Chain A
Amino acid sequence: MMDPKIQYRLRKAARQMLLYLVVLTITLVIMTPVYFITVLSFLTTREAYEYPLPLYPTFTIRMKMERGKRGYLLSVWDRNEQAYVSVLDTDDADKMRVYMETYLGLKPSNEQVTEVMQKVDATGGQPVYFAWRRHILSNYATFFRVTRDAVPALIRSLQIAALTIAISLSIGGAAGYAFARYRFYGKNALKFSVLFVRMFPGVAIAIPMVIILARIGLYDRPAGLSLLYSVGVIGMTVWITASIFMAIPVSLEEAAMVFGATRLQAFLRITLPLAFPGLAAAAMYAFIGAWNETVAAIILTEFNPTFSVVVYQTLLGATGQVNLTAAGGMAMALPAVVFTFFIRRYIHQMWGGVTV
């Protein structure tokens, strides 16, 4: 017989272990894609198409050059094979440089390449081993270089996100306030119907929107896209702000009005500051909704794509390189992450940090 006290403790420890295991698994499931896109965005093109995918990037490329059949034979250290793998046999220094640039993320000059070739000649055909460092952000630099549109598209995307926040928060917030404070006929039906539009896939809405936006002259313009995004986002904004306004007692506003404030003053000075966490959360939803949206943006833009469209386009065609797309994706995630961190404080508040 085991001591019941020990038995109890063991059981408790086992339960705790199980809990940690579950939490760990969930975290792993969530973090795995994030981890892979991060690693992928730093890999060289050669590594990116290896199988299995390397778990971490290398920034020092070990190479070997010797005399080949056509000229000089370049071999690259392969982590999976644990050996040098021959990749290119040429006597054209420029061709070799382009290969290094495209597949290995290096940026040598023709002279540097020629220098190694001369060394091979000097040793009389003996292999020359050398290792070159590449820049950590080489993929990012390449991404912004090869996609001429990236920077203007980034600015456009920011404009669209800001405009979407402004539109959805002013309209949705006002509706949320009305839903929270006033009783009117058909309130519940209306409240449900604002969610209704979210049930349609974005493409289904985007196609008729092409015609509408073209008629009012907003096709291929940031304003047009943010209008479309607002339609979808407002549903969420209404629900978030309505619940936050509902949580603020009416008597706080009434007290302000009894004590000398106008209705507007009471709203601006009392309700709005208290609703700020909820509004921040709604703003975050709007931002992420507008920032990440791609499908409608592909349909509704032509010469002025958004950043998400530019990232998508790097996947297309013969020049598509997944590591560049990953770098673009990471570049795209960055503003969203920064924005979320910026308003994190207020969201914490909404999740029960501070009670009104």
Chain B
Amino acid sequence: MAEVQLINLTKRFGRRVLAVDHIHLTVKDREFLVLLGPSGCGKTTTLRMIAGLEEVSEGTILIDGEDVTYLPPRARNVSMVFQNYAVWPHMTVYENIAYPLRLKKVPRDEIDRRVKEVAELTKIAELLDRYPSQLSGGQQQRVALARAIAVKPKVFLMDEPLSNLDAKLRVHMRTELKAIHHQTQATTIFVTHDQSEAMSMADRIVVMREGRIEQVGTPEEVYEKSANMFVASFIGLPPTNFFYTEVRRENDALKLVHPYFTLTLSPEQAARLKDYTKSRLVLGVRPENLLLTTEDQALFSVEAMVVEPQGSHQIIAFQMDDQIVKIVAPAYPKVWPGERIHVTFRPERIRFFDPETQQAVGDEA
């Protein structure tokens, strides 16, 4: 298995479009790394450059220390699972898995052994004689996966492999993919735009936007310690609520003034923000860190606009001027639209952002 290093990797389409903008990234051996970002952020282009399907404009790709930047795809010893599966429709499942091995001149009995082994692993052993058109989407996905595993690559590349499956199967396949990863221990780079997919599968998440890496970290890190407002709003559902506030410094105390409330920060929080000298500050509060409370303990009181019951919890939306704020609250007590609710923050989970740079401020070093 292998380590993948991207050094200063850049992709230009024509003169104007900069799809991938000088990124640096090291994928550790045996790691399950997820490239996450909205469409057009360059995550797929990055993956395709690693596969060798896209020409590199600038920079270097190292696999296990070997420079593969200008090698054709077949010489890189990677395998790929495509968004539309890309199983070959004129070959049976068996041939689909065996063809790459035949290309690699694996002996015949070894091919047979490996095909059966991966078919067992991906639970398609009874489908080997079928053609892809006779399979469901989920089964085709497994064939694509089996084909990718059979060649024993250094690196697995997966380009939104679950996005064509229906919601239920998608969640199921996450678990299976993760289990297979545990078994094969192959370095995997997985591209998705679905943050919950990324959160549930990744060892580390790389959040990308407009060709740049916004943050690299474990799912907990990118969720709890989002590096900037983009990451904070992209990760998590519903996203982080932002409150634009005025900073008031009174003696040692730090007060954040919002049209609806004034929040006095704790001495520790104030101490962390002592180097912050700008007059405006953005408060980032995740929906589950907005708490329903009694009127006397409330920071502010508003009228609930929409309530979405989710079974295990409910999502309450209310309006603050023209901004919609969402709360994830326990399922009970039930809140009705139009009801007056009393809201406070879980103080230790508040994050601060600089409204100009959008970067997080006041983190512990």
Contact = CB atoms under 8 A, between A and B. Distances in A.
Q: Do A and B come from one complex?
A: yes
Interface string A90-115: 00000000000000000000000000
B90 interface: yes
Interface string A247-266: 00101101111111110010
A273 B72 CA distance: 24
Given A260-B74, A261-B74, A255 B88 contact: yes
A197 interface: no
A251 B89 CA distance: 12
21 contacts: A251-B83, A251-B84, A251-B86, A252-B86, A252-B88, A254-B73, A255-B82, A255-B86, A256-B88, A257-B52, A257-B53, A257-B73, A258-B51, A259-B79, A259-B147, A260-B100, A260-B104, A261-B103, A270-B88, A273-B90, A354-B133
A252 B100 CA distance: 13
B80 interface: yes
Given A255-B86, A262-B74, A355 B79 contact: no
Contact of A259 (B72, B83, B100): B100
B79 to A, nearest CB: 6
Main secondary structure of the interface of A (DSSP, over half): helix
Contacts of B87: 255
A53 interface: no
Given A252-B89, A255-B87, 17 more contacts: A249-B84, A251-B82, A252-B86, A252-B88, A255-B86, A257-B53, A257-B73, A257-B74, A258-B53, A258-B73, A258-B78, A258-B79, A259-B74, A259-B99, A265-B103, A355-B133, A356-B89
B105 to A, nearest CB: 9
Contacts of B80: 254-255, 258
Contacts of A174: none
Interface in A307-345: none
Interface in B29-86: 51-53, 72-74, 78-80, 82-84, 86
A274 interface: yes
A245 B207 CA distance: 36
A249 B104 contact: no
Question: Which of A251, A260, A269 has its CB near the most chain B CB atoms (within 10 A)?
Answer: A260
Interface in A271-287: 273-274
Nearest to B77: A260
B103 A259 contact: yes
B162 interface: no
B74 A258 contact: yes
Contacts of A273: 90
Which 9 residue pairs across A and B have the least CB separation, nearest first?
A259-B100, A260-B103, A251-B86, A255-B86, A251-B82, A257-B73, A260-B74, A258-B73, A258-B80
B247 interface: no
A254 B79 CA distance: 11
